Structure 1
Amino acid sequence: MPFKDQLKQWATQRPDHPAVIAGAQSMSYSQLLASLQSQPQPGRQGISVINEPTGAELVVQFCAAVFQGRTAMVLDAGWPQTHQHQLRELALTWAGHIGSGERPFLLGLSSGTSNIPKGFLRNAASWRESFEESSRYFCLSDSTRTLAPGPLSASMNLYALGESLFTGGTLVVLPQFSADAAIEAITDHAVNRLVLVPAVLDIIVRRALATGADGGMLQHILCAGSALSQEVIELARTWAPNARVQQYYGAAELGFVTASPVQALEATQPPGTSSTDGGAVTSGGVGLPFPGVQLSIRGEDGGEVPAGEEGLVSVKSPYIAQGYAWGDDGLAFRALGDNGWHTVHDRGSIDPEGFLHLAGRASDMIITAGNNVYPHAVEQALRSGVDSGAQILVVGIPDTVRGQRVVAAFYPARQAQGHASAGILPSLRAAAASLPASHRPLHFYELGELPLTGSAKISRVRLAQWIVEGDPRARRRT
């Protein structure tokens, strides 16, 4: 199992060291191990469907499944009951049909094109080898105190739990998220590392700066899920001047793919350009291959494309999932032939320095009047003309003539809200003029808030829904 031996080791060597802190409850390594050993013996199904809010009980049930050699599936306790019931039935049906060999230790949930998440499978080795590399790469130790402010049902945060137990550190989680709760946890529990998505970092940093909360104790900030904006990077540097800020690109099914430190753009550098400095990435690229990862750009037939050209981002590594228990729609994770390369259909290219640049995901692609448009590429072009710190999102919405219509939305920087349109719209239109006609947004919308999933990731699906339904959170400005 990925951290079983290590947890036993820490319970013996450092029994009183806190393993998990959830709100007012703290569990030491010896207490956690004792709780696991007192759990009921498993039944015949071989799977533990865990439906608990983020907290100590969820941690105990997940670790108990690992110790008992069962497959664990962690539900989001905030999902509707019908949703949870359907996932439970899918998991039990899958468990009833698998053979007697080594069971996957994790049945994870990954968002898909339908309403029900895909169920992906992981063996213990994929996480164990990933822990070994990530603990070295991110310089983790038994003195690392990590705050993962998102729900433990999200694979990023569940991995942070396993990684922390593997290295003997302390994981701090929030039963209920708020910026004030996160800031209080950082102070009260001597947190020195954050693992979170950019939207949540943005919320915490702005609140901390507004209230004068100190971030000087932070040594490391790690972000994933979407690109860090230059504004958030600069704010994070102001609040936590001693912290290394890093981002990684990956997927639930692929694990780590690339990682790099980030730095704020120099004042003399034009908006939208990218630069590298000792492996640091500012914008454009998403990093160099993570240790243990081979990276290649390939075509649909699995063949490698010429250097510098765009294609499927393809990965070969020991961190890759085994496949799906259900939900394989052909638009996400798949093998490219039988040579070990896998993709989640993200498209991109690799520059001469080895940095991966993303163009977009196949499932996000907009087909308008027969033209294939990747939102990420349009967003980059629009962002190049805007230096206000606004976040730019591009989606396709139904169109009776074109099939889909390209539209763009912007979420102004906090200081610009209330009078953003007049300043931002001319810049967006000017940047759009440099795009091919098929890629130019036909309409622009101003957002009252970001369209986020339950794990605080940007959701194009939700944005498109707001626009189609006339939701006031997306107001048409042209």
Structure 2
Amino acid sequence: MPYTRTVLEVASNEPERVALTDGVRSITYGDLSSSSGAHKAVVDSLLGQISVEALSGITFADEIGDIPVISISLTHVLDSAELVAVLAGYRTVTSVLDPLWPIEHRVRSIVRSGAQIVVTDDESLGHALVEGSWPGVIIGLDEYRARLDRVSETEKREQPPTVRDDEEPFLLIFTSGTTDLPKGFLRTRKSWRYNVRVSERWLRAKPAELTFAPGPLAYSLTLYALVEVLGTGGSIMLQSRFDPIDAARLLVEKPVTRLVAVPAVLPALAQAAKRDDVQFTRLTDAVIGGANLSLALRTSFEEVAPDATVLSYYGAAEIGFIAWSTEGDGALLEPFDGLSLSVRDENGAELPEGELGQLFVRVGSQGDRYISTTGGALITGADGWATVNDRARLVGGKLLLEGRAGDIAVTGGHKVSLVQIERTLEGVPGCERCCVVTQPHRLLGEILVAVIEATPGQPSPEKARVNARLGELLPPQFVPHRYYLADDFPRTVGGKIRRVEVRAELEAGSYTRL
């Protein structure tokens, strides 16, 4: 069902149903519907401030055309979520930028998106845009809200939100805010309407149920959780920055039945629950995206959420949902219905079952390309198959994901999946948080190095015991040559370990050898 139609129907039939909350402040469906016209009036007035001369200084992406782009960089996730929710009913494209991203990356993302309006509570971002002679309108959150209060009742009623056309873009997402040049891609309403149907059928998104999605809205998993919940008439509780103690308290005190999170959230929640001797007894579903979920993490979380079904899935923000698992270590994933998979070699030839290659997907939610102002590289080729350059194998009709190209190493002539080693290592006690990298070697080309994140208050794992266990579970060429201990890992905003930075820290001598 179209997102805006659902919001309007719930607002009409049950206006007091909570749409958005952070556990303290709540915004109802009635609030979203009744305030939409005021938001549109404020946006129109801000667009009216931009002169023709200033517009000529904005670089518009070909794929967006003349649709107004509004960039949002706000401290509190509820403020960002409200703007995304109300503007979705109009001919606008919104882009959420994490306030913790470096200033230069946020500025670069704004410029490359063709944004005309930036809503922020970060004065340093505003100063950087002014110093860079960016020609759009910068408005602080307080001033934005003051303008909302000045909109008349007549103006509010003049432009009600409407169900928009399938092919119209409404969200602009950036792949990265902390490394390399960020690449932007568009999500059309059709593509995420397709995804909402997947969520209804497989991921237990239901009307009137409370979903908890901790983490910044700039992360595509959290942003999609917002869309799927509002698209199905549910309620979503958001947390600006994941805090395990606060998150565990919310799961105990609030009627949360569904969790949407990245794998790194699970061990932190489990540890917080065990520390306070509590369980998440209301939770019936935990939907975990972003990576394969190890058996150790799954089991640990199931101990504190005994009635929850833990479903891990693999997908790409540029493509959509691809495959899922509810058992074991999540290594073999079941493809979602309605898509086709192909694994190919570097020349584009289809590989036989079991062979490692580049994964291609055909599904109704896939995007076309990254926007022209960020390079315009294709996501979907002329043959209709899409890829984000992940490596995988097809085994018995299931998908075995091996990571990105940089997650494959060659040591002693053997091609080795670093992700596969990590999945196995995570099942060894004391090694639940780990990262495998390579170091150059004169004879072997590269050798494998496992870096293990220390657990506060727990003894370090013994190298001999870890090595022996991996020797039982993996081929000899997959067993790391060296082991190191790290206090903590560099991570993305979504909690993924940054392998490249771990390797740099290792070379800098930041870790302790076991």
Asked if Structure 1 and Structure 2 have the same fold, meaning a TM-score greater than 0.5 normalized by the shorter chain, the answer is: yes
* Residue identity in the other structure for 1:406: L
Report whether the alignment pairs 1:183 with 2:248.
yes
Unaligned runs of 5+ in 1: 263-281
Report whether the alignment pairs 1:142 with 2:207.
yes
User: Could you list the per-position Cα deviations for residues 252-281 of structure 1 after superposition, in whole angstroms to 9, with x for gaps in the alignment?
Assistant: 11210001212xxxxxxxxxxxxxxxxxxx
Structure 1 residues 349 and 366, CA, compared in 2 at 3 Å: closer, same or farther?
closer
* Cα distance in structure 2, aligned partners of 1:285 and 1:148: 24
User: Could you list the per-position Cα deviations for residues 342-389 of structure 1 after superposition, in whole angstroms to 9, with x for gaps in the alignment?
Assistant: 12221221222x2211223113334568865431244356568x4555
Trace 1:309-320 onto structure 2 (pairs within 5 A). 309-320=355-366
Whether contact under 8 Å (1:361, 1:374) holds in the other structure is no
Match of 2:451 among 409, 416, 426: 409
Trace 1:53-452 onto structure 2 (pairs within 5 A). 53-92=75-114, 103-111=168-176, 114-262=179-327, 282-283=328-329, 285-325=331-371, 326-328=373-375, 334-335=379-380, 337-352=381-396, 354-366=397-409, 373-380=416-423, 386=428, 390-397=432-439, 405-411=447-453, 417-422=458-463, 424-427=465-468, 430=471, 434-436=475-477, 441-452=480-491
* Cα distance in structure 2, aligned partners of 1:355 and 1:183: 34
3-state SS in 2 of match to 1:451: coil
Larger-Rg structure: 2
**Deviation of the 1:284 alpha carbon:** 5.8
Whether contact under 8 Å (1:49, 1:75) holds in the other structure is yes
3-state SS in 1 of match to 2:264: helix
Structure 1 residues 206 and 358, CA, compared in 2 at 3 Å: closer, same or farther?
same
Matched with 1:41 is: 43
Whether contact under 8 Å (1:410, 1:447) holds in the other structure is yes
Whether contact under 8 Å (1:229, 1:389) holds in the other structure is no
3-state SS in 2 of match to 1:287: strand
Structure 1 residues 401 and 33, CA, compared in 2 at 3 Å: closer, same or farther?
farther
Structure 1 residues 381 and 172, CA, compared in 2 at 3 Å: closer, same or farther?
closer
Structure 1 residues 137 and 470, CA, compared in 2 at 3 Å: closer, same or farther?
same
**Deviation of the 1:60 alpha carbon:** 2.0
* Residue identity in the other structure for 1:91: S
Whether contact under 8 Å (2:312, 2:326) holds in the other structure is yes
3-state SS in 1 of match to 2:506: helix
Bigger mean CA deviation after superposition, 109-118 or 27-36: 109-118
State the number of aligned residues: 444
Structure 1 residues 114 and 218, CA, compared in 2 at 3 Å: closer, same or farther?
closer
Bigger mean CA deviation after superposition, 453-462 or 5-14: 453-462
Whether contact under 8 Å (1:382, 1:431) holds in the other structure is no
**Deviation of the 1:214 alpha carbon:** 2.7
**Deviation of the 1:63 alpha carbon:** 2.2
Whether contact under 8 Å (1:215, 1:240) holds in the other structure is yes
* Cα distance in structure 1, aligned partners of 2:244 and 2:177: 29
Q: TM-score, normalised by structure 2?
A: 0.78
* Cα distance in structure 1, aligned partners of 2:376 and 2:77: 33
Matched with 2:58 is: none
Bigger mean CA deviation after superposition, 311-320 or 458-467: 458-467
Structure 1 residues 390 and 184, CA, compared in 2 at 3 Å: closer, same or farther?
closer
Bigger mean CA deviation after superposition, 65-74 or 145-154: 65-74
Whether contact under 8 Å (2:69, 2:115) holds in the other structure is no
* Cα distance in structure 2, aligned partners of 1:69 and 1:397: 51
Whether contact under 8 Å (1:381, 1:435) holds in the other structure is no
* Cα distance in structure 2, aligned partners of 1:305 and 1:76: 39
Q: TM-score, normalised by structure 1?
A: 0.84
- Percentage identity across aligned positions? 30
3-state SS in 1 of match to 2:95: strand
Unaligned runs of 5+ in 2: 48-65, 118-133, 135-165
* Cα distance in structure 2, aligned partners of 1:286 and 1:48: 40
* Residue identity in the other structure for 2:365: Y
